[in-house]
Structure 1
Amino acid sequence: MDELIAFDHNLFLELNSHHSPFWDAAMILISNKYVWFPFYGVLVGLFIYFYKRKGWLMVLSLGTSVGLADFISSGILKPTVARLRPCHDLTLGQVVNAVDGCGGQYGFVSSHAANAFAVAIFVIMLLPKKQWGFKLLLLVWAMAISYSRVYLGVHYPGDITGGALIGIATAWLSMYFYKQASERFSFWQS
């Protein structure tokens, strides 16, 4: 375990050490959850416009995916594991480039990564197979948000990996709920 933690610290230091004014501003923007609200609104609107009642079930299932991811990451794991963010770690504090402040005390797991992957994976599973370009774009979007957290100095790569896994798991669970509800209840068919 000590070797894994040391690897995580070293990888963090390498990824966090390369900065420029352009990328600082870009990563702050990418990491800002409010920037993505119009995207979420368009996504919800498209679900409802194209799928009517079934679209509302998609929105409910997507919300469940993100809500679970956020609750597990912020409500359960962060306070239970209590792993300090890199910018709060006294052994790293002097070398961390915390570009936009440090955030809360604990960082395992990243809620940004969990939520972004919960959205991306759920929508990827909803899309038809031929939509591979949009699927790839969603995956890149989730990875960019996740990487921004390391760049900004508030999460270790292990925090990101854990968050991504939580997001993927909640997306799969919510997709299971969505499929069961859409197949069993005729109300959601139209």
Structure 2
Amino acid sequence: MFEQLIQFDHQAFLGVNQGMANPFFDWIMPLLRNRYFWAPLYLFLIIFLVKNYKQNGWICIVFLLITFAIADYFSASVLKHLFERLRPCNEPGFKDEIRLLVACGSGFSFPSSHATNHFGIAMFLITVFHQRWKPIVPLGLFWAFSIAFAQVYVGVHFPLDVTTGALVGCLVGYVTGTIFLTSYMHKTWNTGS
């Protein structure tokens, strides 16, 4: 069963990494996984929260940072060291089959911290804002998915790595978003004050 899962994961990886290869993806996917590419979005988010929600916006930013910290710590410092799965670009007997578009990295692969962190942030924002702004759900999920997909496309993670990272991140983001709403901001946030 476990060997079949790994074999399926390898096939799915090759389906994305090689089967979907095209010049546009070769250009855009390395950018999507680069944290600096998204810096304007993060800056916009900070300005938006502070301008529209003042002190409550700062509290929301603190919770976003807490969400990121928990997601990153749990994926990078706990799960990766527990499973110690090699990245596709470092796996003996497999690394010669892949198209590597970025530096491989020396860390472990499972789960993807990029996927965990970005799905955590997306789910936090969805949990907090979905009552006020319905488009946050598809936009947040598409944003996080595009980053996770890019990790597979460029050759540094398997699909199972990003899928597990997405699930862990969603759990973290939902919990921190729920704590933010119920413990600190429920009345204020939901009334629009």
**TM-score, normalised with respect to structure 1:** 0.91
- Give the distance between the partners of 1:61 and 1:113, measured in 2 at CA: 18
Distance 1:89 1:43, change over 3 A: same
Match of 1:8 in 2: 9
Tell me the number of residue pairs that the alignment of Structure 1 and Structure 2 aligns: 187
Residue 7 of structure 1 aligns to which amino acid in structure 2?
A: F
2:134 counterpart of 1:132:
yes
Question: Hey, which bits of structure 1, 4+ residues long, moved more than 3 A?
Answer: none
Structure 1 range deviating more: 60-69 or 133-142: 133-142
Distance 1:13 1:124, change over 3 A: same
1:177 is displaced (CA, Å) by: 2.4
- Give the distance between the partners of 1:65 and 1:37, measured in 2 at CA: 18
Match of 2:123 in 1: 121
2:149 counterpart of 1:147:
yes
Match of 2:45 in 1: 43
Q: State the identity %.
A: 34
- Give the distance between the partners of 1:165 and 1:128, measured in 2 at CA: 19
Trace 1:50-61 onto structure 2 (pairs within 5 A).
50-61=52-63
**Alignment partner for residue 182 of structure 1, among 156, 181, 185?**
185
- Give the distance between the partners of 2:8 and 2:178, measured in 1 at CA: 35
1:41 is displaced (CA, Å) by: 1.4
- Give the distance between the partners of 2:127 and 2:186, measured in 1 at CA: 16
CA RMSD of aligned residues (A): 2.0
Q: Which has the higher contact order (CA 8 A, sep 6+)?
A: 1
- Give the distance between the partners of 2:130 and 2:176, measured in 1 at CA: 17
Structure 1 range deviating more: 2-11 or 122-131: 122-131
Q: Are the equivalent residues in 2 in contact too, given 1:88–1:105 (CA < 8 A)?
A: no
1:130 is displaced (CA, Å) by: 5.8
- Give the distance between the partners of 1:74 and 1:105, measured in 2 at CA: 9
Match of 2:93 in 1: 91
- Give the distance between the partners of 1:181 and 1:175, measured in 2 at CA: 10
Q: Which runs of 5+ in 1 are unaligned?
A: none
**TM-score, normalised with respect to structure 2:** 0.90
Q: Which runs of 5+ in 2 are unaligned?
A: none
